[in-house]
A and B are shown apart, each in its own frame.
Chain A
Amino acid sequence: SAVISQKPSRDICQRGTSLTIQCQVDSQVTMMFWYRQQPGQSLTLIATANQGSEATYESGFVIDKFPISRPNLTFSTLTVSNMSPEDSSIYLCSVRLAAQYEQYFGPGTRLTVT
């Protein structure tokens, strides 16, 4: 497995502002992903963070709203832009290690937009 940390662990933000969430892994990983978990619901994949190139977004998610960076094999950021109360959610990063199929999740960032 891998040790994954996220910052911040939680935040309360004003409508219209942006928040950048960081994900750090203790080893180099091939694949990194960002998920959203809305209250009482399951996980929805936002995008795959690609090292050195633009992220691959899932249907319903766009780069202008959720810009993602991945400058190296151990670090990624997700920005939630121009936030509205509907963006209140838990945001989780996950990684898949080489030669393994399962994904491991970070502790999540609990975002509340007021």
Chain B
Amino acid sequence: GQNIDQPTEMTATEGAIVQINCTYQTSGFNGLFWYQQHAGEAPTFLSYNVLDGLEEKGRFSSFLSRSKGYSYLLLKELQMKDSASYLCAVGPGGYNKLIFGAGTRLAVHP
């Protein structure tokens, strides 16, 4: 079966660092994606990992361990505008569909 788990909600303080975890079990694997979705808006692409290790992109970093079926998104120097839902998605095979997790709602407080 296909299963993607991530925490439902998280809170953090402005200026801090937060790590959002994602574990997955899929019948195939062709990459792990992180998206950001502000309320009432479409998801926007943040990162893509297909090999083990850390990918850094400004304040955001994403890590992947394929053997453990595990990824995390690391957000540094949090800003109020980072309050959003963060969606973990897996490409289970081929280059077609994405399977999304339920999303983690992050609230950043002053």
CB neighbours (8 Å) of B96 from chain A are: 31, 33, 48, 96
Q: How large is the interface on B (under 10, 10 to 19, 20 to 34, 35 or more residues)?
A: 20 to 34
With a cutoff of 8 Å between Cβ atoms, the chain A residues found around residue B103 in the complex are 42
Q: Are B31 and A101 in contact (CB under 8 A)?
A: yes
With both beta carbons as reference points, the residue of chain A lying nearest to B6 in the complex is identified as A42
Q: Which of B57-109 contact A (CB under 8 A)?
A: 87, 89, 91, 95-103
- Cβ-defined contact, A43 with B50, below 8 A: no
Majority secondary structure, B binding face: loop
Interface size class of A (residues with CB under 8 A): 20 to 34
The segment from A11-19, A65-73, A76-84, A103-111 found at the interface with B is A103-111
Least distance between B57 CB and chain A CB atoms (Å): 12
Q: Is the CB of B98 within 8 A of A45?
A: yes
B43 CB contact (under 8 Å) in A48, A96, A105: A105
* Residue among B31, B42, B50, B97 making CB contact with A33, cutoff 8 Å: B97
Query: Would you call B41 and A101 a contact (CB within 8 A)?
Result: no
User: Which residues of A come within 8 Å of B, CB atoms?
Assistant: 1, 31, 33, 41-45, 48, 58, 92, 96, 101-108
